[in-house]
A and B are shown apart, each in its own frame.
Chain A
Amino acid sequence: MAAEETHHVAKTFMDHLPVLQVVIPLFAAPIIVFIGKRSLAWPIAFAASAAAFVISCILLIQVLDGGFISYHVGGWAPPLGIEYRIDAANALVLALISGIGTVVLPYAYESVKAEIPKKNHTLFYACFMLCFTGLLGMVATGDAFNVFVFLEISSLSTYVLVAQGANHNKRALTAAYDYLIMGTIGATFFIIGLAMLYMATGTLNMADLADRIADEGTNRTIRAAFAFIVVGMGLKVAIYPLHHWLPNAYTFAPSAVSVFLAATATKAAIYVLLRFMFSVFNPSFVFEEWTLYIVFIPFSLLAMFAASFVAVFQTNIKRMLAYSSIAQIGYMLLGIAMLNATGLSATLVHLVNHGVTKAALFMGVGAMMLYSGSAFFNNLNGLGRKMPLTGAAMVASGLSLIGVPGTAGFISKWVLVQAAFENGWWIIAIAIMLSSLLAVIYVWRMFEVLYLTAPDPQSTAKEAPLAMLVPMWVLAIACIWFGFDTELTLGSARVAADGLLAGSAGMAH
């Protein structure tokens, strides 16, 4: 033993990056509580998320050539130890999550002051950091059980964050409770699935699981595990019939939390679903193909139309955006169900594009709520004219939500339609375009309220504070930017899709 240790090569900062981006926010959360000073909570949280963002960008650049980075926590080599494993697919999602976190925090500074009682601020930022840690962790890890642990860290802190909206509207409490019940059922199904996998294979490392399932073929236990994992994660993703928790949670959460959740929480869950469907289980298994064709396609079409249709009739703009999110999740699932590289890249690129778009929209609504007090359409009359910069950012991101050419939303829908044509599914391609028309209707309703109605003469609304405007515009500009320069988003999505489609071979050591 001692002789071996003399060969130990000291690890450098660069070697630690995969774990550091999870550890830094994890460390920040207890520090915020331990110091317990309200004035220091925000700076610590912001520094931690900015550091995580920088690290995830470095990681993304390192894995863009299609390789992967493996980090052994505790020095125990996989499959025994916990492995953090970064490849193009999760590096992209990590960059999205940490990027959104970094942009949301400056915005949160003003909006939290307005919406949450002072005594809760310190713990709010600690919870935010825990949620951030959980989302990053479940994406970064290569260990199936570790996914569950981080999933619970992010979920539990999310329930608290959603409940913070109670100061504004008591219904936040029931929304958080609903989410708690549904989220716990989802997590339970997921862990039952994992237990079955462990029973069948005796391992929890994803790459090892993939090898063993590929070698030994499937049996009833593995098929049941697949079903449990898909349904469990499906609840967290809010796949159409399992979406019930989402509208209330997004509507009644504090603005900053709505922004963060809408852009990251379901996206991290979609990544986990992708990872299990393509890397751990092999898509070539007949049962998985059937699941995709018989379950995913009808439900994603249903989501695209039904949820968009419901969104059209909402009277609360946050609720409308929440239903629109469910519809957009339909597009992402449709991309998965195409089962080709183009479809998967459409899913991954839409994950990023929709995250950015929806975050910008929720930020706009949150800024308006500072003056209107609520997100009901009739309280927002004419606010686009009173708050020109906020309104313009919402128009830009609204266009991206529809998928107007020249915006990020167009790129993802374009790739999705391409994927449909590759499979010869022209009916589905038409369905994608038709459902975009529904998006035109609800986004138009938003424009109409913001610009074409007379503002309330007693309204004291003025332009949003700079700390809210800058993050909002960063995201709005990103909506346009990713519509023209697709090198970063679509480029890395394609690399990631190839890696995922290589199945268990893509997970080889």
Chain B
Amino acid sequence: MHHHHLILRVVTKMLVGAIMLFAFYVQFHGDFSPGGGFQAGVIMAVAFIIYGIVFGLDKAEQVFPPWLVHKLVALGVLLYAGVGVVSMLLGYNYLDYDAFSPHHPSHGQHWGILLVELGVGITVTGVMVAIYYAFAGRPPPMKDEDW
């Protein structure tokens, strides 16, 4: 395995960091430029998926264990719904971001959408990686040598 695809492995190693950085850019710059949680989540997941494709599923699962993936799927939804619940506890409607900064509602809106989109991003990352693990983890019907 380690003797094959030298160029692929080197390029992938270089790219993974850049892909993650770009995911964070799309995530947190999403309110000023095109982007947001969905796109960022998919891009972030791509970093793990390309690592898994090139270095093997077991290596990818060492970096990003499946139990953690499942927790992240739930965590993102919890963050989203939790923002709504907190705004409710502060005496505003569900997901009314004004609650986070009553005197400067526009700041509150800013904080609210940032947190909610972070939740979306976390869940989308988790779901995409979970789908990849589920498909890649299926035992092949026949081994490569049997062809």
Contacts and interface: CB of A to CB of B under 8 A. Distances in A.
Interface of A: 1-2, 5, 8, 10-11, 16, 19-20, 23, 26-27, 29-34, 36, 71-75
A29 B77 contact: yes
Nearest to A13: B88
B102 A34 contact: no
A75 B82 CA distance: 16
A8 B81 contact: no
Contacts of B98: 5, 8, 75
B103 A5 contact: yes
B92 A75 contact: yes
A30 B77 contact: yes
A33 B74 contact: yes
Nearest to B96: A75
A74 B75 contact: no
Contacts of A34: 71, 74-75, 78
Given A23-B81, A23-B85, A26-B81, A36 B93 contact: no
Contacts of B73: 30, 33
* The 9 residue pairs across chains A and B that have the minimum distance between CB atoms: A10-B91, A75-B96, A33-B74, A30-B74, A34-B74, A30-B77, A74-B95, A19-B94, A75-B93
Contacts of B105: 1-2, 5
Contacts of B90: 10
Contacts of B93: 11, 16, 19, 71-75
Nearest to A29: B77
Contacts of B85: 23, 27
A36 B106 contact: no
Contact of A31 (B78, B94, B103): B78
Contacts of A33: 70-71, 73-74
Given A29-B77, A30-B81, A74 B71 contact: no
A19 to B, nearest CB: 5
B94 A74 contact: yes
Contacts of A26: 77, 81
A394 to B, nearest CB: 39
Contacts of B106: 1
B94 A16 contact: yes
Interface centre among B81, B94, B96, B105 (most CB of A within 10 A): B94
A73 B104 CA distance: 20
A73 B78 contact: no
A72 B98 CA distance: 13
A218 B94 CA distance: 35
A73 B90 CA distance: 15
Contacts of A10: 90-92
A36 B96 contact: no
Contact of A27 (B75, B78, B95): B78
A30 B75 contact: yes
A74 B84 CA distance: 8
B97 interface: yes
Contacts of B78: 27, 30-31, 34
B88 to A, nearest CB: 6
Contacts of B82: 27
A208 B97 CA distance: 25
Nearest to A19: B94
Contacts of A16: 88, 93-94
Given A20-B88, A33-B73, A75-B92, 7 more contacts: A1-B105, A2-B105, A8-B91, A11-B91, A16-B93, A30-B75, A74-B94
A31 B75 CA distance: 8
A105 B102 CA distance: 41
Nearest to A71: B93
A75 B74 CA distance: 26
A23 B74 contact: no
30 contacts: A1-B105, A2-B103, A2-B104, A2-B105, A5-B102, A5-B105, A8-B92, A8-B102, A11-B91, A11-B92, A16-B94, A19-B93, A20-B88, A23-B84, A26-B81, A27-B82, A30-B77, A30-B78, A31-B74, A33-B70, A34-B78, A36-B70, A36-B71, A71-B94, A72-B93, A73-B93, A74-B93, A74-B95, A74-B97, A75-B98
A19 B96 CA distance: 13
Contacts of A73: 93-95
Nearest to A15: B93
A322 B91 CA distance: 46
B104 to A, nearest CB: 7
Contacts of B94: 16, 19, 23, 71, 73-74
B15 to A, nearest CB: 31
A439 B94 CA distance: 47
Nearest to B95: A74
A23 B85 CA distance: 8
Interface string B104-119: 1110000000000000
A19 B81 CA distance: 12
Nearest to A72: B93
